[in-house]
Amino acid sequence: MAIKSTTPDIEAHVLRFSDIDQRESPYRPIDMLLERYDRKRYAVVGRPAEQKGDPTPLDQVDAFNITYLKCEPGKGLATHGHPTPEAFIVMAGQWKITLGMNAEQETVLGPFDIISVPPDEMHGAEVIGDETGWMMTINAGHGGAKLFWPPDLVDELRATGAAVSEVEIPGDSLQK
């Protein structure tokens, strides 16, 4: 028995890197309120709440989601955790990856290096060196995982006047 393709157009399932700006996410995790965590986020696969425009097959993946991050040197992701594992794959630049509430462990990853962060492990990332960094993140599920922030980051954000919580659910603010 031959398997019939139900895909009418292969290009509907393709995202060209030259078109990445079309996938820039409007979701800004709370750490992005601080300049050192400013970055561009691109919801590449999954995360339908973060998409603009008409849905595509790339938005309809249920088992996992992929985001690209673009950070300038000295910027990155604040320490955070979530109940699901996360894989980081460096695409460009050098990234310092930390584990632990106070970054007790660290390693440096270069292009095509990968780390799998266990569930509930606090972790962060920063671009080091002079080159703009690009990193792919892969998480379980259709949307982003519930994020947990360390108390010192929450206190720092509150000191700026921001109304923040220790927990953030990605996409919630976009659906209201």
| Domains of the chain from N-terminus onward | 37-175 (2.60.120.10)
Measured on CA atoms in the order 25, 15, 60, 111, is the torsion positive or negative? negative
Q: Does residue 172 surpass a pLDDT of 90?
A: no
Tens-digit pLDDT profile for residues 65-87: 999 999 999 999 999 999 999 99
> pTM of the prediction?
0.89
Average pLDDT score over residue span 145-161:
93
Residue 175 CA: distances (Å) to CA of 54, 60, 116, 154: 15, 17, 29, 23
Residue 141 tokens read as 């599920």
**Least confident piece of the model among 25-34, 136-145, 153-162:** 136-145
Predicted local confidence at residue 106, as pLDDT: 97
